[in-house]
Chains A and B, each alone.
Chain A
Amino acid sequence: MAMQQGGILVFSEDPGVIGELLTVGRELGGQAGTGVTVVASGEDAGERAEEARARGADGVLLVHAEAPVQNGVEADVEVLREAIRTATPKVILLGATSVGLELAARVAQEIGVPCASDCMSLRIDADGGLEVERRVYGGRFIVRQVISGTPKIATVQPKRFAMAEKINNDLSCDVTEITVKIGTPRVHLVSVSERARSQVDITKADVIIAAGRGIKRIEDLEMMEKLANLLEGVVAGSRPLTGDVDWLPVDRRIGLSGQTVKPNLYIACGISGQIEHIVGIKDSRTVVAINNDPKAPIHMESDYSIIGDLYEIVPALIAACERTHTQ
């Protein structure tokens, strides 16, 4: 059967994100009266194709990539370019992951069209435009934009949408196989290592003790752990502590480049409150800030501010919690 043209094309390097994009894609497809095609590529392309079919994709582009060496985003650019050529989509959805943002930008530039980054809502408007909402100025403002022209490219905020549910009936799903010959990359991958991960899912934590640049030494995180244990919470951190120095595993990072959390109580210790971080704590019920700089933006984003030295306040907080526990 011929590949359906002019529909919605979904691409992500991350299988979980593909599931989320299918949710968005099926919604948009319903509004636009078109189907959703998922690009299944990578070593597990077959599994991805099956997964996409089960989650309600109307079509799958099953990619056989012939690559000379292990390849990174340059191969993804080539695969996506070929997928677009084959499917001639009206709308292209990618995940707003680090890789997804780069990939969308590169492909959109090749085609000569704009692209909306990190969208939190998407719909097809009456004129067939793609209307999106995005966070700007560090999440202080939401902008509503409309993309016109063809194709319309958008990256979708990860974890904003649930994965499309498995339908598991015999819905028809066109599988089109394409072979993409990948060129020799210009940027060579020398080595890859997984960053340390923790066993803790901070997005599910009820209490979070967050550490920032105000923490002077890695040993001082013990104090944070102690407080977290007393409050039955977890320790997380801002980007400086999870990247600049690797004092905390990267999956404990809160913010634009990390996780969005929604605890009942969030205590920011030595965090200045840069926009990068604040975006990730908006859904917290109560925010407490401990920072010795009265001008730190975190105080504007807190319910209760303590303008003081965290090396005095945190031990006092630990002592108070210990007293309560022994009573």
Chain B
Amino acid sequence: MNILVCIKFIVDPNQLQADEATGKPDFQRASYRINNWDEQAIEAALQLAAQHGGKVVAISLIKTPPPKELILTALAMGLDSVYLVKDEAGLAADAFRIASVLAAAAGTIAERESIDGWDVVLCGEASVDDYNGQVGPRLGTALDLPIITYATRLDLSGNRLTADRAVEERLETVETDLPALITVGMEINDPRRPTVIQIMGAGGKPTVELDISELNGFDGSVFSAEASIRDIEIAAQPSIRKQQVVEGDSPAEIVEELLNRLGAAGEVAF
């Protein structure tokens, strides 16, 4: 069984600060990470492969190179290889284009890996930076695959995949035949955390760079300039919080101090 996992290297929103002068995100000082739910997608892929055998390959569409350590971390989790599809011109500017590029890349990578195709394509349900939640279902559409979103459990028997999924206030159990595209969120697993030694040791595994122009059957000129979505402005939502640390020598003292401050500020009357 061959599994393709789509991953995104993102600025960690928890660490992203606004530039004080402009109010815009300060990407220079930000740290990067693998999108949270993509780690869960990697873990789900590795668990499927552990039970049923096969190759697990990750693909990431990048504008600029991600920190090497993050690529090594992904490999150290157990991936067989990582493909970086370079889009230096920023052609894949929206989710339609990203999914179209990934669909072409899926075919190109299968060819390079000398396999017939992908049995499972796995994506995180969204990336926590843009929070579009579109690329997974769009890629499934572009590849004409059955799509199971928001999976919380996967169980494979032969060619039949059974999944639990959490949607709104329902829990569903669904089934489909492979190949299929699956998106996963935080419920599905706890991703493994490779050790520093494992991360250092992952350098021997292949990282393959492909330029967007090298993808089979992909022609960027098909993207209409007319149908676009573009940013006009991005502005910080300033934190309105006091960010005071309440301290004391014992839990009772800390709590007393907290209640004093809450009461003094007129916020809560106890």
The answer to whether A143 and B131 touch across the interface, beta carbons within 8 angstroms, is: no
Q: Give bound CA distance, A153 to B102, whole Å.
A: 21
A276/B230 contact (C-beta < 8 A), A106-B147, A114-B96, A140-B13 known: no
Question: Hey, which chain A residues are within 8 Å of B150, CB to CB?
Answer: 98
- Within 8 Å of chain B (Cβ to Cβ): is A121? no
Q: B173 is contacted by which of A117, A137, A190, A301 (Cβ under 8 Å)?
A: A190
Can you give 26 A-B contacts (C-beta < 8 A)? A14-B168, A97-B168, A102-B137, A114-B96, A135-B131, A136-B129, A138-B14, A140-B237, A141-B25, A143-B231, A145-B230, A146-B229, A150-B227, A187-B174, A187-B180, A189-B173, A191-B172, A194-B171, A195-B166, A243-B185, A244-B187, A274-B14, A303-B244, A305-B245, A307-B247, A316-B251
Distance in Å from the Cβ of A98 to the closest Cβ of chain B? 5
- Inter-chain contact B96/A109, CB cutoff 8 Å: yes
The answer to whether A304 touches B246 (Cβ under 8 A) is yes
Total A-B residue contacts, Cβ distance less than 8 Å: 263
Q: How far is the CA of A308 from the CA of B231 in the complex (A)?
A: 42
- Shortest distance from the beta carbon of B26 to any chain A beta carbon, whole Å: 11
A98 to B262 CA separation, bound complex (whole angstroms): 37
- B20, CB-defined interface residue at 8 Å: no
Q: Number of contacting residues on A, CB 8 A?
A: 90
User: A239-B186, A286-B268 in contact; A98/B234 too (CB < 8 A)?
Assistant: no
Flag whether B224 is at the interface (Cβ < 8 A).
yes
A182 sits at the interface (CB 8 A): no
Partner-contacting stretch, out of B41-49, B50-58, B196-204, B252-260: B252-260
B73 at the interface (CB under 8 A from A): no
Interface residues of A in 94-117 (CB under 8 A from B): 97-99, 101-102, 104-106, 108-110, 112-117
Q: Is the CB of B270 within 8 A of A297?
A: no
A80 to chain B, nearest CB (A): 13
Q: Are A137 and B231 in contact (CB under 8 A)?
A: no
Task: Point out residues on B near A: beta carbons under 8 Å.
Answer: 11, 13-14, 16, 18, 25, 36, 94-97, 99, 126, 128-138, 140-142, 146-150, 152, 162, 166-177, 180, 185-187, 224, 226-237, 239, 241-247, 250-252, 254-256, 258-259, 261-262, 265, 267-268, 270
Q: Nearest residue in B to A296 (C-beta to C-beta)? A: B14
Please name all residues of chain A whose beta carbon is closer than 8 Å to the beta carbon of B245 when the two chains form the complex: 299, 304-307
The answer, yes or no, to whether A72 is at the interface (CB within 8 Å) is yes
Within 8 A of B (CB), among A117-142: 117-118, 131, 134-142
Q: Chain B's nearest CB lies how many Å from the CB of A110?
A: 6
Shortest CB-to-CB span from A228 to chain B, Å, is 14
Q: Are B234 and A149 in contact (CB under 8 A)?
A: no
Secondary structure dominating the interface of A: mixed
- A20 close to B (CB within 8 Å): no
Whole-angstrom distance between the alpha carbons of A136 and B130 in the complex? 5
1/0 contact string of A295-324 vs chain B (CB within 8 Å): 001011111111110001101110111001
